[in-house]
A = this chain, B = another copy of it.
Amino acid sequence: MRIIRVRLAKRSYDIVVAKNAMGFLARYIRKLNIGESAYVITNNLIKRRCSSRLIRALQEAGLDFKIKIIPDTERSKSIPVLSSVINDLAKFDRKRRTFIIALGGGVVGDLSGLAASIYKRGIPYLQIPTTLLAQVDSAIGGKTALDLKEGKNLIGAFYQPRLVLSDVSLLKTLDQRQLRSGLAEVIKYGIIKDSSLFAYLEKEYKNILKAKPDVLEHVVAVSSRIKAGIVQADEREEKGLRTILNFGHSVGHAIEAASGFNRYTHGEAVGLGMLVALEISSRLRFISSLFESRVENLIKATGLPTLISGIALKDIMRAFYRDKKFCGSQNRMVLTRGLGRPEIVRDLPIALIETAITKRIISLD
């Protein structure tokens, strides 16, 4: 069991990473004194996979609870689903103090956090992430979000959970593609912040894909510590420090958007985005070709895609420039000068970005 403290003054909280973390839930809820009624938001698939242990923990803690099911799709990050959740929550919320538990991946976490932040101007919520991606990334840091037709994550709030409980035993039932998707974000942490994590991944990536609990506990704990450190230094993304977390993400998001968010998982797109960022870093002579190959080899070895198929360059570029991270026409990308040495670069020549992306595209002809 590892506990990582996210230090944000009055909004500080623990990330508990353990093989049977669910067993600590009852104790934490009592200690935090956040309420007597738990409103659990999840989807049907996760409910089948993980809810029995959660229910046992809630009963042990002597809590009232209700399980709210939302559809298992990115489309749940929408105002109509938020409205349904909040109206249902208001009906459930009587007399005893109510808090929210987000049991699920990024979609459940993003929606639950936003609901918690605006219901009664803020009630407590806990994150119990059930995917590797959510345990190492989205459940930490208090970013909550919904999508609009005009773009992803256009609605949201910064609102910290009171606890993140990462039970790595829950990852046993994930399929390879989901594990790989989470692994892409872990590789990202290695590149931007931690050469020993990167070396560990080179050695142990197969055991991650086999969901070996000890390896997962280590990887989730180290990743959580890195993310927590960055969030502590720049909670609301005002100082630019949080920006390095976007390594691989600007092009990654563009690939996701250009393909209608259904061809690649988020992690797969980030893997591709990292390869593009690497290519640009290499062409700018930020890194050696040896280093470029080393990272590329790890990404390839995990089985993450290394080529973009079925998407045209112009569609990726259009999505790239529509990204909300840019002001005006200026572009901004996180590049790398080596392990633990990210660099934010503005106003890259468009031709350079296009060349680097094109190198990864499988021609449609």
Contact = CB atoms under 8 A, between A and B. Distances in A.
A118 B121 contact: no
A154 interface: yes
A149 interface: yes
A280 B87 CA distance: 36
A8 interface: no
Interface stretch (A155-163, A173-181, A198-206): A155-163
A240 interface: no
B95 A328 contact: yes
A24 interface: no
Interface string A66-86: 000000000000011011001
Contact of A157 (B122, B236, B327, B329): B122
Contacts of A121: 143, 145, 156-158, 236
A204 to B, nearest CB: 35
A150 interface: yes
Interface in A109-138: 114, 117-122
Given A95-B328, A327-B97, A154 B83 contact: no
Interface in A341-356: none
Nearest to A322: B94
A329 B90 CA distance: 18
A91 interface: yes
A150 B327 contact: no
A324 interface: yes
A87 B149 contact: yes
A90, A91, A145, A158 — most chain B CB neighbours (10 Å) = A90
Interface string A205-220: 0000000000000000
A150 B82 contact: no
Contact of A118 (B155, B236, B324): B155
Nearest to A93: B150
A91 B154 contact: no
A156 B79 contact: no
A80 B79 CA distance: 9
A87 B154 CA distance: 10
A87 B80 CA distance: 13
A114 B120 contact: no
A148 interface: yes
A95 B321 CA distance: 10
A303 interface: no
A310 interface: no
B97 A155 contact: no
Contacts of A151: 90
Contact of A148 (B79, B90, B97, B324): B90
Q: Which 8 A-B pairs have the closest CB atoms?
A: A90-B150, A79-B83, A121-B156, A90-B148, A118-B155, A90-B154, A118-B157, A121-B157
8 contacts: A80-B83, A91-B150, A114-B118, A118-B155, A120-B154, A120-B324, A122-B157, A122-B158
Given A120-B324, A121-B156, 6 more contacts: A87-B148, A96-B328, A118-B155, A121-B143, A121-B236, A157-B157
